[in-house]
Homo-oligomer: A and B are copies of this chain.
Amino acid sequence: MKFCSECAHPVSLQIPPDDTRPRFVCSNCGTIHYQNPKMVVGSIPVWEHEGETRILLCKRAIEPRLGYWTLPAGFMENNETTEDAARRETEEEAGAKITLHGLFSMINVPHVHQVHLFYRATLLDLDYAAGIESLEVEMFTEAEIPWEDIAFPTVAYTLKAFFSDLKLVQKNDAKFALHTEDIYKPMRSN
């Protein structure tokens, strides 16, 4: 940020009175331009058929991580809820209609100023199709998931936790739990 978005005067980094952190401050109109983390929200779209559990993944058509696989997810927008965002991103990226269940994972990624949320979801039908930000959309069993080619560590973490919970749920009627994690560095998904 170089200029004030209210009056176009150059801004400078300084610690405002009663604050402890440097902010972009406009010395002309006095506006303090706060910058805060963004939420990335998505779903884990599940399809159960003949005892097999498959998850819908999208192959990214855009950077970062073009060509790598991800759960449908994206930046939450103003005027929507986290559940709205999960449904919208799943529709936009995978053309998929879902029923949302509970919040499954919340992962802090502080070095990129993001918090990632993923909801468990059930696919309502198989009429999915790649949206403009996806090259392909495909369903995978746990064994079929391209673990070496997962786009983001938050997605790899969420998929692993999901299949781990799923085994417990199927064995002894346990419930899915909320998984929280902090990821401080870009990690290879493998």
Write the residues of chain A forming the contact surface with B, with a CB cutoff of 8 angstroms. Answer: 1-8, 10-11, 18, 21, 33-39, 75-84, 102-103, 106, 108, 110-111, 113, 115, 132, 178, 180, 182
Contact = CB atoms under 8 A, between A and B. Distances in A.
Contacts of A5: 1-5, 11, 33
Contact of A3 (B8, B81, B111): B8
16 contacts: A1-B5, A1-B6, A2-B7, A3-B4, A3-B8, A5-B33, A35-B78, A36-B76, A36-B78, A37-B77, A39-B39, A78-B110, A81-B110, A102-B180, A103-B178, A178-B178
Contacts of A34: 75
A153 to B, nearest CB: 15
A39 B10 CA distance: 28
Contact of A108 (B6, B7, B8, B81): B81
Interface-centre pick from A5, A34, A102, A132 (highest chain B CB count, 10 A): A5
Given A5-B33, A79-B113, A82-B108, 6 more contacts: A1-B6, A2-B5, A3-B4, A37-B78, A37-B80, A81-B182
A7 B105 CA distance: 38
B7 A76 contact: no
Given A39-B37, A39-B39, A39-B115, A79 B4 contact: no
A78 B113 contact: yes
A115 B179 CA distance: 18
Contacts of A1: 5-6
Contact of A36 (B18, B21, B77): B77
Contacts of A4: 3, 5
A182 B81 CA distance: 7
A116 to B, nearest CB: 11
